[in-house]
Amino acid sequence: MKKNELHIAYQSFEKVEELQPNDLVLVNHAIAAAAVAYAPYSGFHVGASLRLKNGEIVKGSNQENSAYPSGLCAERVALFYAGSQFPNTEIEAMAVTARTPGKKLKMIVKPCGACRQVMLETAQRQKTPFKIILVGEDGQGLLFDSIADLIPFSFEFE
């Protein structure tokens, strides 16, 4: 048996001001989306925003439902909206953030496995990877050039 290693490429930042101006705008849209999340059960408010190649910004927030698991994550809300309203427009970047009203999250939230798979298939469908920016409440974060770095052993049909 051979031991293998997996290397993941990403950048980290301490403050969102380190980001490029257009990425900072995207993060601010994700923060605004998190503010309108419907999360009465978990109290975990997630916001996502996408920058499309045509300059459009698409936002999504998590939407919970008492008939669990009928709710949907913020990332998939944004991705599915973009896919239905702008089906032939590539995504350039995605920002994701979360907050918990009443207390400060000390972590940088990462997309769940289902969202990562949808992100991967979206990138495969558009034949172009897109940047992913994950931001914590304190402004620190991680930047990935591709979803492939967040889901290295993905489910693929090819």
CATH of the domain at 31: 3.40.140.10
Domain assignment present for 9: no
The boundaries of the domain holding residue 71 are 20-149
Domain assignment present for 3: no
Domain assignment present for 100: yes
Q: Is the pTM of this model over 0.85?
A: yes
pLDDT digits (tens, 9 = 90+) for 31-86: 999 999 999 999 999 999 999 999 999 999 999 999 988 899 999 999 999 999 99
Domain assignment present for 14: no
As for how many domains the chain has, the answer is 1
Q: Burial level of 32, CB count in 10 A (0-12/13-18/19+)?
A: middle
Residues designated as active site: 75
pLDDT digits (tens, 9 = 90+) for 116-154: 999 999 999 999 999 999 999 999 999 999 999 999 877
What is the distance in angstroms between the CA of the first residue and the CA of the last residue of the chain?
Answer: 27
